[in-house]
Amino acid sequence: MIAGQTPALTAQDSGSASAAAQSQAAQTPSTPPSAPQPQATAAKPVRMIDYSKPRSHFPNPIAPYLPHRVPEPSLQNSLRLEQLLQNGKLMLSLDDAIALALENNLDLAIARYNLSIADTDILRAKAGQSTRGVSTGIVQGTPGGGVGGLGTGASGAGPGGTSGGAGGAGAGAGGIVSSTLGTGPAIESFDPFVSGTLQLEHARFPQSNLVTTGVPTLNQNSAVGDFTYSQGWATGTAMQLGFNNTRQISNSVFSILQPTINSSFRLTMRQHLLQGIGLNNQLRFIRIAKNDKRISESAFRQQVQTTVSQIQNIYWDLVNAYEDLKVKERSLALANKTLADNRKQVEIGTLAPIEIVRAQSEAAVRQQDLIVSQTALQLQQLLMMNAITRDLPTKGSPLLNAPVVPTDTMSLPADEALPSVDDLLQQALTNRPEIEQSQLTLMNDNISRKAARNSLLPTVDLFGFYGASGLAGVNFRPFAPCGTTLKSNCIPAGIGSGYPNAFANLFNSSAPDKGAGVSITIPIRNRGAQADHVRSELEYRQAELREQQLKNQIGIEVRNAQFALQQNKARVVAAQEGQRLAQESLDAEQKKYALGASTNILVLQAQRDLAQSESNTVAAMSAYEKSRVELDRVTGNTLQHNSIQLSEAEVGVVSAKPVTPNVVPRTEPITDETAPQPQLPPPPK
């Protein structure tokens, strides 16, 4: 699991490496291609931004209302790439390929965004709103080096999480199948809200009689200033404070106060007693969002494992193509030598001319095989370059025409002890990210089913309120205070002439407004809540079965990977023995041919058998290396066995180069003859 804050995605520098290039150019082509040691990758410091924390009003009061600026994605390759150039070739070890992929691979760059997206769901849930969910599937946009297994992550959906339906009876409204994730009672708004209304109004109202206002047309000017503050808490408690003010003046002859000033406030508190009460209901979105963040972290770890496994497979495919090209070159060289020998023998009359035609035909076939092998190598070089770069080299780049030369080769350990199946299964169940994701998904489903169970209850709310009203105004007609005269036209005692008097009356208990009560809402049939509750229980049980199914699938993957490793190891041993025997057979056939005891056809056939056996050995070695990669992947040991720091993969800057075990550096010199740029050879003469 990734600890700490998640990074905002920032651009990386892609500078020149003149000093490194000069030192690399000083090496001669005959020097054994030891894996170069690149300098530290030049990259900008990564800004660590935790999007789960809101912007504060301090020191900038308007900061919460300003948009965030998310850095644009970098399309520049890391400096490490050009540091590996030697004499116009990209000398690439497996460890360098993994390091470059951790820095540049676009699958990883895309998956990194999910970590920050999960942070935004936590921030949204803290406000009391439902989460939007996080995509946690494996990004597989890099071609080549196919990786087996499940290849999918947890759903990572938010409340009411959806999956596409095919329409028809199995789909919900709009062709979408919704889950009950996050269902339950309404959640209070944990973010306070302040609303206000400021209004000026002038109105004329024709009167049908003079009794009401004493004038045929009532002219009225009014000013309104109303404010409301509301907030909720995780206990299921809500508060609302309203503060209302009105100033009104009219031409009514019966109005005692001109202008009339009214001021009032009311504080209302409400507490859920059944449905929606307690932290389990009110905090469920926050808990789901935090679990989704852990799911996204686990899914990113799975993405790194998948991408590293894919890079390793692409690398071994590249080595396979490179070795196969050398096999085809040797085979063509043998065919051309046989053709030349046949021509000499025809010239001196010891061989029939038809043998030249047969040798030419065989040379043409092997030349065709060489062309196929060269184009296959060219494709593997392109796939590798795409996998370790953000932007493929373009015109002007020193990497544009640089062939990718693998500096590591395949090997078969003499004594390879494999753990038992039980140990491998235990490692897989402990290390596989999919298990963790399944468990977290089950926790989210459990949160939702508890909330759905609470939704079955009636809504019972206890509420109380306290308020007051104040009145003020100018005595438009000099009436005496009420109580000092028997006339009906009197002014209530204590009324002042201005707003301060009206405001003060709010707190002297002269006109209080207080009360308490219980609000009850009972759904008579409650069918909607029953359906959601039953569905949440069914989905929870379904998730339990999915977890067991996942464990079973992982068990099959582990056993299959172990079987494949054993089979491919046996294939390598058999192929190597077949190659040795084919070489001995060719040597014997050539000796017999020199003594006149064999034919040209048998020699050519022995050459074909040797070439095929060499190709079989190369293919078997490649399959064996890839089966080791797959065993690491299915047991969840890819990162550990290759010394990969997940924190470096998260920020995309590798300081400590990965170390892949049981990898042998190539010992033979790399020359233009052994590692040519794929091109079409000339036809045989």
Judged by DSSP in three states, 223 sits in: strand
Query: With 90 as the cut, is the pLDDT of residue 227 above it?
Result: yes
Nearest-Å Rg of the Cα atoms of the chain is 40
Query: With 50 as the cut, is the pLDDT of residue 20 above it?
Result: no
pLDDT in tens, 79-105: 999 899 999 999 999 999 999 999 999
Query: With 70 as the cut, is the pLDDT of residue 27 above it?
Result: no
Rounded Cα distance between 491 and 259, Å, is 14
pLDDT of residue 135: 87
Is the sign of the CA dihedral 577, 579, 581, 587 positive or negative? negative
- Between 627 and 599, name the one with better pLDDT: 627
Locate 271 and state its tokens: 């507490």
pLDDT of residue 239: 97
Q: What is the identity of the amino acid at 443? A: M
Rounded Cα distance between 475 and 141, Å, is 81
pLDDT in tens, 645-656: 999 999 999 998
pLDDT of residue 19: 38
pLDDT of residue 149: 54
Query: With 70 as the cut, is the pLDDT of residue 195 above it?
Result: yes
Query: With 70 as the cut, is the pLDDT of residue 478 above it?
Result: no
Query: With 60 as the cut, is the pLDDT of residue 640 above it?
Result: yes
Confirm if 279 and 235 have CB atoms less than 8 A apart. Answer: yes
Rounded Cα distance between 509 and 681, Å, is 104
Mean pLDDT of 253-270: 89
Query: With 90 as the cut, is the pLDDT of residue 596 above it?
Result: no
Neighbours of 338 (CB within 10 A): 21
**pTM for the predicted model, two decimal places:** 0.83
**155-159, 225-229, 317-321, 659-663 — which is least confidently predicted?**
155-159
Locate 361 and state its tokens: 């035909």
pLDDT in tens, 324-377: 999 999 999 999 998 998 899 899 888 889 989 988 999 999 999 999 999 999
pLDDT of residue 234: 95
What single DSSP character describes residue 282? H
Q: How far is CA 126 from CA 87, 413, 549, 637, in A?
A: 57, 55, 34, 36
Query: With 50 as the cut, is the pLDDT of residue 243 above it?
Result: yes
- Between 283 and 680, name the one with better pLDDT: 283
Query: Smallest Cα–Cα separation from 103: which of 90, 112, 91?
Result: 112
Rounded Cα distance between 192 and 184, Å, is 22
pLDDT grade, residue 484 (50/70/90)?
low
Mean pLDDT of 517-537: 96
- Between 166 and 625, name the one with better pLDDT: 625
Confirm if 471 and 504 have CB atoms less than 8 A apart. Answer: no
Confirm if 318 and 324 have CB atoms less than 8 A apart. Answer: no
pLDDT grade, residue 551 (50/70/90)?
very high
Locate 275 and state its tokens: 């449905």
pLDDT grade, residue 479 (50/70/90)?
low
Query: With 70 as the cut, is the pLDDT of residue 22 above it?
Result: no
Q: What is the identity of the amino acid at 101? A: A
